[in-house]
Amino acid sequence: MRMMMAAVWSTFSAAVLLVLSSAVLGVTSARAGDAQPKPCAAVEVTTLVHAFITAFNRGDGRTLDRLFAKEPIFRWFSTTDPGARLRAAATNRATLVSYFATRHKRGERLHLRSLKINGNTIAAAPLGPYGNFEYELTRQSNDLAAIRYNGKGAARCVPSNRDVIFVWSMSHD
């Protein structure tokens, strides 16, 4: 009887271990799979750019923070005067949301005039594939009369996760 109980207990323990291992591995695989970027569809990039413009104009720092990639994926947010953000400052993700807040306090608003989706670039890990876009917008603030700006950007799309912008550059004509 003792040997039979030991065999049952051993089989039960092995089954429990197998189930727990599978569950842990399954969760790990799903999470790793979710983190893998995929090529961006035009609608994803369009939605992301419109969400940025809307959040910027509302001064919604929390949403702006979510819409831009974190380090090490973030590359830059650059613009010319006023409120120039160039070179090293453009690549500093830590100051991005406070920069947006400062521009919002100055009454800055962006009006998207056109958006062109330029397909995807297939890049090596950790970046992976990303969507390219260019745009034309009107930028206006207390320290800037309405003026046309042109720009380009890049978006990273991740299934079951938030798509993010990791490059945004704009300058006036």
Two tokens, residue 19? 């189930």
78 beta partners:
169
Which pLDDT belongs to residue 28? 29
Q: Evaluate whether 129 touches 39 at the Cβ level (below 8 Å).
A: yes
Q: At what angle do helices 42-58 and 96-105 cross, to 10 degrees?
A: 50
For the stretch 96-151, pLDDT in tens is 999 999 999 999 999 999 999 999 999 998 899 999 999 999 999 999 999 999 99
Is the backbone of residue 83 left (phi > 0), alpha (psi -120 to 50) or beta?
left
User: What tens digit of pLDDT does each residue of 44-101 get?
Assistant: 999 999 999 999 999 999 999 999 999 999 999 999 999 999 999 999 999 999 999 9
Q: How far apart are CA 45 and CA 157, in angstroms?
A: 8
Q: Which of 128, 110, 139 lies closest to 35, judged by CA? A: 128
Number of CB atoms found within 10 A of residue 58's CB: 12
Distance CA(140)–CA(110), nearest Å, equals 7
Cβ–Cβ < 8 Å for 115, 52 = no
Q: What are phi and psi of 138, to 5 degrees?
A: -105, 130
Q: Does 72 sit behind a cis peptide bond, omega within 30 degrees of 0 on the bond before it?
A: yes
